Amino acid sequence: MIDPIKILKRSWHILWNYRTLWLFGLILALTASGGGGAGGNLDNLFSYRTGGNGGPPSGTFERWLEEFFRPLAQMPESQLLPTLIALVITLICIFGVVGIALAVARYVSQVALIRLVEDYEVQGSQVSFRQGWRLGWSRKAWQVFLIDLLLGLPIFVLVLLILPIIGLLIAGASAQTPAITVPAVIIGIGLLLLWILVLIILGVVIGVLGEIARRACVLQDMGVIDALRHTVGLLRHQWKNVGLMWLVMLGLGIGWGIATLILFVLLIPLYLLLAFPALVAAGLPGLLIYGLASLFLAQPLAVLTALILVLPLFFLIVFSPLMLLGAWEQVFLSSLWTLTYREIMALESANSVNTSAQVG
pLDDT, tens digit, 9 for 90 and up, residues 17-30: 999 999 999 999 98
To the nearest 10 degrees (0 to 180), the angle between helices 178-219 and 224-266 is 110
2: three-class secondary structure by DSSP: coil
Q: Give the span between the Cα atoms of 162 and 159, in whole angstroms.
A: 6
Q: What is the mean pLDDT of residues 102-116?
A: 94
58 or 296, higher pLDDT: 296
- Of the candidates 253, 252, 211, which has an alpha carbon nearest to the alpha carbon of residue 228? 211
| CB-based contact 331:21 (threshold 8 Å) | yes
DSSP 45: G
Say if residue 107's pLDDT is above 70: yes
Please tell me whether residue 56 adopts helix, strand or coil conformation: coil
Selection from 227, 33, 273 nearest residue 235 by Cα: 227
Number of other CB atoms surrounding residue 333 within 10 Å? 19
pLDDT of residue 37: 35
CA gap 307, 85 in Å, rounded: 18
170-179: list long-range contacts, CB under 8 Å, 24+ apart.
none
pLDDT at 59 over 80: no
Q: What is the reported pTM? A: 0.76
pLDDT tens, 315-356?
Answer: 888 888 888 999 999 999 999 999 999 999 988 877 766 665
Q: What is the pLDDT of residue 68?
A: 56
Count CA atoms within 13 Å of residue 257 on its CB side: 6
Please give the pLDDT value at position 52: 44
Gap between the Cα atoms of 54 and 244, Å rounded: 65
Dump pLDDT digits (tens) for 68-78: 555 555 556 56
Q: In which element (H, E) is residue 77 found?
A: helix 77-123
pLDDT tens for 192-248 read 888 889 889 999 999 999 999 999 999 998 999 999 999 998 888 888 888 899 999
Using 50, 70 and 90 to split pLDDT, how confident is the model at 173? low
Q: How confident is the model at residue 36 (pLDDT cuts 50, 70, 90)?
A: very low
C-beta separation of 172 from 188 below 8 A: yes
SS (H, E, C) 268-322: HHHHHHHHHHHHHHHHHHHHHHHHHHCCCCCHHHHHHHHHHHHHHHHHHHHCHHH
Residue 162's pLDDT band (boundaries 50, 70, 90)?
A: confident
DSSP secondary structure, 173-237, as one string: HH-S-HHHHHHHHHHHHHHHHHHHHHHHHHHHHHHHHHHHHHHHHHHTT--HHHHHHHHHHHHHH
Report how far apart the first and last C-alpha atoms of the chain are (Å, whole number).
25
Q: How far is CA 51 from CA 46, 54, 63, 83, in A?
A: 10, 9, 17, 23
Do 285 and 310 contact (CB within 8 A), yes or no? yes
Instruction: Give the up-direction half-sphere exposure of residue 16: CA atoms within 13 A in the CB hemisphere.
Output: 5
Q: What is the pLDDT, as a whole number, of residue 35?
A: 34
- What's CA 14's distance to the chain center, in Å? 24
Percent of the chain with pLDDT over 70: 78
